[in-house]
Amino acid sequence: MLATEEQVFDVVIMGAGFAGNCQARHLLLKMPQLKIAIIDPRPIERSVKDQKVGESTVEITAMFLARELGLQDYLLENHVPKYGLSFHWPKNLAQTATTEDYYNIWVNRTPSIDSFQLNRPKLERDLLKMNQEMGATFFNGRATDIELAPNDELHTVSVKVNDSKIELKAKHLIDGAGRRFLLGKKTDNLTFDPEALCGIDTGSVWLRVKNAELKIFDDGHDFQTRGASRLYTTNHWFGHGHWLWMFPMDIENKEISIGMVHHKNVIPSQDINTLDKLKAFLKANHHVLYELIESGEIVDVHYLPRLAHISKELISPDNWYILGDAGYMFDPLYSPGLALTCMAIETVTETIRAKLANEADAEEKQRMYNEFLTQYQRRYTTLYQRHDRHLGNASVMSWRIYMENMFWFGIIVPMYAGKWFLDFRFLKPFIARADFIFFNKNGLLNDFYNQLDRVIEQGKNIGLMDYDRQDQLLWGHSASKLFDNFLANAKYEPLRCNVFAGIKGTYFFMALFYLKLRFTAFGILGVLAPSSIWRIIQILWLSFYNAIGERIYLYKTRRLASNSAVKKTRNDFKQYKYQAALQPWRS
């Protein structure tokens, strides 16, 4: 019988992947005195085949890694920069040999917020070493049993490390162990039912290829028409019931990631679940990607038959928490999983800090943050509905991409930048408005998708909307527009970013966008229909309501400096006097 050793920590984290390692580092940066244990059966030196869906970052993930975890220089030195998103649809399904055979939406300028394509095994290995250097204890073993305790009592995790059995106890227990679903299975917390996921029933196959001939994708001959790299973007290739990604992960080794998400009602798992089947599919439907794979050496191949899931609870009043793939996965399009995980990590840190400090509102934070995170899951499942119908239609899907990016850049990015998602006064109305926008069958999102369904049914071409261009709506608007100058003026401290300007502006331009869609698809009668007029009034009311909120915010923060460091520098500079002299240096 193995002897059992017992150790007590403040926090036990199961899983040393992206979620677990980022959570550990965030906690240690905010509370260096914490005793943290990290459990993972994989060795620190990860296998090159330890790859998963989730390599591409977007603005929120990049800001989190750079500003919250202090990894900007590390990312620049060790990972591939990303230049936004590009989208491609075949012009002729029988001819897909080059990118010229596709209708393309290219990124037309360098993004204002740096983001990266992550080499996940390398990142996770390096983060684990950083966490150990900061004081975290790593147990290279497998969690064999979990005993959850109520209220503020200690949870217990039994861990087998080589020939030893260890019991780790902690008031706060975090599951970041991915699709092992350690707490999800323990608490019957998971939902895989497509009906609860707005019909999402998908699988995914992906691989990495090294020494690929990248000129097959882009020979650079038209570089004078570009404002940003095409190779370094996350390239999305669309077709009926599926989409694919392609981006570089390691330029020195010419290594690229190629993967596919398929809707099983269109492409059954048995038709795509092996390398040979994937290659046959690409040869017939996206020949340029097939040639890329054939030009190099395959590093690894993976197939996941059941991609999407969500959790009923992510932050428990009994002090257990679920992060990343252990709790949710929707669809890699727009890379939402990592972004949600970053926000979740910050809410978990704030909850643990408040609990350890015995703050009066600690339990309210647990409840409110859990409501925010679980609802945010549902927002994404609503956002990804009807992809099986829309993905392959270049006209319809381009309108979706434009509209969905309006929400992202106008509301979600500034909400994150200003840390508004940690503020109760903002969260309560933000959560309450979700029914009208996302969940109500007569809400804005369902209405918008219904319009697109009608376009498909009537066989209409409503044009190609480019989410990054500024010449498709009035006043130079693009879907990637930011309505506050938080980037230019480094307004990164909590509540400095004027999120209300973003919400107000987003809904105003959403009304114009809705009018444009109705006119383009259904003519002047479509615009003048009572249902259309009523929808425009509703959207403009949201803009007006948030304009009032903005005035209140601006009044309350009229004496708050945009950046406290800049304010200090300006105050210090009042004592400045020019000194026309040098200190002596010659002996």
% of residues, the chain, pLDDT over 70 = 97
Bridge partners of residue 250, in order along the sequence: 255
Query: Which CATH code, of 3.20.20.10, 3.30.2130.10, 3.50.50.60, 3.10.20.600, is assigned to 4-304?
Result: 3.50.50.60
Pairing of strands 80-82, 115-117: antiparallel
In this prediction, residue 231 carries a pLDDT of 87
pLDDT digits (tens, 9 = 90+) for 119-161: 888 899 999 999 999 999 999 999 999 999 999 999 999 999 9
- Mean residue pLDDT of the chain comes to 93
pLDDT band at 249 (very low <50, low <70, confident <90, very high): confident
Query: Average pLDDT, stretch 397-406?
Result: 96
d(CA 165, CA 143): 10
In this prediction, residue 53 carries a pLDDT of 62
413 φ/ψ sector (left φ>0, alpha ψ -120 to 50, else beta):
alpha
pLDDT band at 318 (very low <50, low <70, confident <90, very high): very high
pTM of model > 0.85: yes
In this prediction, residue 433 carries a pLDDT of 84
Check if the beta carbon of residue 54 is closer than 8 Å to that of residue 374: no
Burial zone of 102 (CB within 10 Å; 0-12 exposed, 13-18 middle, 19+ buried): buried
Query: Average pLDDT, stretch 81-102?
Result: 95
- Can you tell me whether residue 363 is helix, strand or coil? helix
- DSSP letters for 229-272: -STTSEEEEEETTEEEEEEEEETTTTEEEEEEEEETTTS-GGGT
In this prediction, residue 125 carries a pLDDT of 94
pLDDT digits (tens, 9 = 90+) for 565-583: 999 999 999 999 999 999 9
DSSP class of residue 487 equals T
Check if the beta carbon of residue 157 is closer than 8 Å to that of residue 9: no
Query: Average pLDDT, stretch 419-433?
Result: 91
State both tokens at 356. Answer: 């350890």
- Which of these ranges, 350-354, 475-479, 513-517, has the smallest mean pLDDT? 475-479
pLDDT digits (tens, 9 = 90+) for 446-472: 999 999 999 999 999 999 999 988 999
Q: Taking Cα atoms as reference points, which of 54, 41, 34 lies closest to residue 123?
A: 54
pLDDT band at 437 (very low <50, low <70, confident <90, very high): confident
**Domain residue spans in the chain?**
4-304, 409-563
Query: Average pLDDT, stretch 491-513?
Result: 96
pLDDT digits (tens, 9 = 90+) for 157-214: 999 998 899 999 999 999 999 999 999 999 999 999 999 999 999 999 999 999 999 8
**Does residue 25 carry a pLDDT above 80?**
yes
Pairing of strands 4-14, 155-161: unpaired
- Which of these ranges, 95-104, 165-174, 220-229, 522-531, has the smallest mean pLDDT? 220-229
Query: Average pLDDT, stretch 419-435?
Result: 90
d(CA 453, CA 459): 10
In this prediction, residue 191 carries a pLDDT of 93
pLDDT digits (tens, 9 = 90+) for 31-59: 999 999 999 998 887 665 565 666 889 99
Query: Average pLDDT, stretch 371-387?
Result: 94
In this prediction, residue 1 carries a pLDDT of 42
